[in-house]
Chain A
């Protein structure tokens, strides 16, 4: 197995080293991993994900994606971002565009500049966009503006947009935090089957322990800016949960 993402001694802070969010994270995520990050709010889950595609630059340490070190260097960064899809808690779709147009946005970086600016997509690209929407069960919504879709549908458009990038890695930052339980399970199982079928590395930050236990093949947890737990989903114990959230095991079980 080769490493998809490697963190080496990663430190990051938004307000100076005293209040560092990440204080030396060492972590290797293998290709094809389906990995869930747990941790209380403010423990650096999002920051860790953002370090992978350079939305956040650590002030110390290195992050390596598919053998390339994440840096401020523009073309390196854009190269990494092209194959690293991101799914957001707030969907981050362009509301005034249709579902199909949002999916096609995922293909823009691979298009020549003038076609990207004009939105001149070929019939083949549009067909691929429709196929991706079909995969997430939204083909009949292709021409609907996304602000008319439900939360779950929006997140499925988000997944289709990410797949349009033909990613090797998918990062999902609390993808189900604003969704109901049924829809949440739908989104998570879609992501898991995408990971299994296409061999895509998927890293998800979550705060629902139950989902982490049932979907996470690998679970890591951050505590005080460091990696505190790295275990298999099936082996996630109440003691682990107590360490992450500072709950008693009884309450964590309930």
Chain B
């Protein structure tokens, strides 16, 4: 048998290949960078973004902020019910979304229903449709259906969060250790018992974490939905803006910041305790 030269011995061996490959990635990276910059530049031009205009706008900004000062805190007692409305919208929207998304997630988990194309495909399809429209659009749709007020806000948050949570929950279910499921099936337990004892305990930490994140984010979204008619603090902010009551606006903004910070704090405490 003749001696085959190893890669290292061959002229232009390991090193040569490496150098060639490195040059290839280098030119590719530069190309990508130029392309990204070109797109950004075109978009900036299209949007007429300009540092000059921003600098020129600074005095008006200061003027606007000055009008907001001092905040008119006397309006706060009258806004308490608006806070409750906003929080309730977020809470109900999240709760309904968590419950519905868990069912959809079971169907959309490859390891459970991957072999059943009907259930798997249907769940995946529904989840992606729910996710593809922003909650603001869902709110417009539901306002047309059930009229103005907090209710369409709740429905909009439910539908959109359901799409987001369903995808995350399905991934959590797909990442579980299959061992316990196999063990429960081996005892002769039925499907629901197996889900309850082998799958639920494993996905619980993720479900709680994602749901609390969703609640935090839904509180913020509930403000925005309020501005398009779902009531609550967002609505009050909109009204104050339209009436040029800038000192009320600043009080409401401070209130929003405090509310969001409080919810974030509470949910991080709950998360820490459960996981």
Residue numbers of A with Cβ under 8 A of B are 53, 55, 77-82, 84-86, 88, 90-97, 105-106, 108-109, 113, 116-117, 119, 161, 165
**A105 surroundings in chain B (CB, below 8 A):** 183-184, 187, 189, 197
Q: What are 20 A-B residue pairs whose CB atoms fall within 8 Å in the complex?
A: A53-B186, A81-B187, A81-B188, A82-B188, A86-B187, A88-B182, A91-B179, A92-B179, A92-B183, A93-B179, A93-B183, A94-B183, A94-B201, A95-B201, A108-B184, A109-B187, A109-B193, A116-B192, A117-B193, A119-B196
- 18 new A-B contacts at CB < 8 Å, known A81-B185, A92-B183, A109-B188: A79-B188, A81-B188, A85-B186, A85-B187, A86-B183, A86-B187, A92-B180, A93-B183, A94-B198, A95-B201, A105-B184, A108-B184, A108-B187, A108-B197, A109-B189, A113-B192, A113-B193, A116-B189
A94 cross-chain contacts in B, Cβ below 8 A: 180, 183, 197-198, 201-202
A116 contacts which chain B residues (CB < 8 A)? Answer: 189-190, 192-193, 196
The minimal Cβ–Cβ distance linking B97 to chain A, given in whole angstroms, is 23
Q: Given the complex, which residues of B lie within 8 Å of A92, measured CB to CB?
A: 179-180, 182-183
Give 7 nearest A-B pairs by CB, closest first.
A81-B188, A92-B179, A82-B188, A92-B183, A109-B188, A78-B188, A86-B186
Q: How far is the CB of A120 from chain B (nearest CB, A)?
A: 12
Q: A94-B201, A116-B196 are in contact. Are A108 and B189 (CB under 8 A)?
A: yes
A residues near B183, Cβ cutoff 8 Å? 86, 88, 92-94, 105, 161
Whether B204 is near chain A, meaning CB under 8 Å from some CB there, is yes
Interface residues of B in 159-199 (CB under 8 A from A): 177, 179-180, 182-190, 192-193, 196-198
Question: Could you tell me the distance in whole angstroms from the C-beta of A182 to the nearest C-beta in chain B?
Answer: 24
> In the bound complex, what is the Cα–Cα distance between A79 and B187 (angstroms)?
9
- Do A113 and B204 touch across chains, with their CB atoms under 8 A apart? no
User: Which residues of chain B are within 8 angstroms of A90 by Cβ–Cβ distance?
Assistant: 179
| CB neighbours of B180 from chain A (8 A) | 92-95
Chain A residues near B205 (CB-CB < 8 A)? 96
Q: Residue on A with the closest CB to B182?
A: A92
Q: How far is the CB of A123 from chain B (nearest CB, A)?
A: 20
CA A53 – CA B185 in complex, angstroms? 10
Chain A nearest Cβ from B186, distance in angstroms: 4
Minimum CB–CB distance for B84 against chain A, Å? 33
Instruction: For residue A116, give the distance in angstroms from its CB to the closest CB of chain B.
Output: 5
Of all chain A residues, the one with the shortest Cβ separation from B180 is: A94
Q: Is the CB of A88 within 8 A of B185?
A: no
Contact A117 B196 (CB under 8 A): yes
Q: How far is the CA of A78 from the CA of B188 in the complex (A)?
A: 4
Whether the Cβ atoms of B186 and A81 lie closer than 8 Å is yes
* Inter-chain contacts of B179 with A (CB < 8 A): 88, 90-93
> A47–B192 Cα gap in the complex (Å)?
26
Q: How far is the CB of B208 from chain A (nearest CB, A)?
A: 12
Question: Please, how many angstroms separate the alpha-carbon atoms of A108 and B183 in the complex?
Answer: 12
Q: Is B190 a contact of A80 with CB atoms below 8 Å?
A: no
Which of B188, B189, B201 contacts A96, CB < 8 Å? B201
Among B192, B197, B198, the one with the most A-chain Cβ atoms within 10 Å of its Cβ is B197
B 202-251 contacts with A by CB, 8 A: 202, 204-205
Taking the closest CB of chain B, its distance from the CB of A97, in whole angstroms, is 6
Question: Per-residue 0/1 for B244-268: is the Cβ within 8 Å of any A Cβ (1 yes, 0 no)?
Answer: 0000000000000000000000000
B75 to chain A, nearest CB (A): 48
Name the contact of A109 in the complex, choosing from B190, B196, B201, B204 (C-beta under 8 A).
B190
For A117, give its contact among B177, B192, B202 (CB under 8 Å): B192
Residues of A within 8 A of B190 (CB): 78, 109, 113, 116
Contact with A along B134-174 (1 / 0, CB 8 A): 00000000000000000000000000000000000000000
A contact residues around B186 at 8 Å (CB): 53, 55, 81, 84-86
Distance A105 CA – B179 CA, assembled complex (angstroms):
14
C-alpha spacing A90/B180, complex, angstroms = 10
**Shortest beta-carbon distance from A165 to chain B in Å:** 6
Q: What is the distance, in angstroms, from B197's C-beta to the closest C-beta of chain A?
A: 5
The answer to whether residues A97 and B187 also contact, given A90-B179, A109-B193 and a CB cut-off of 8 A, is no
Nearest CB to that of A79 among chain B residues?
Answer: B188
CA gap between A90 and B205 in the complex, in Å: 22
Bound form: Cα–Cα A94–B180 in Å: 6
Of all chain B residues, the one with the shortest Cβ separation from A81 is B188
CA distance A113 to B190 in the complex (A): 9
Bound-state CA distance A88–B204 (Å) is 24
Q: How far is the CA of A5 from the CA of B197 in the complex (A)?
A: 29
Q: What is the CA–CA distance of A97 and B197 in the complex, to the nearest angstrom?
A: 9
Q: CB-CB < 8 A to A117: which residues of B?
A: 192-193, 196
Return chain B residues, CB-CB under 8 Å to A108.
184, 187, 189, 193, 197
Point out the residues of chain A lying under 8 angstroms from B177, CB to CB. 95
Shortest Cβ gap from A80 to chain B (Å): 7
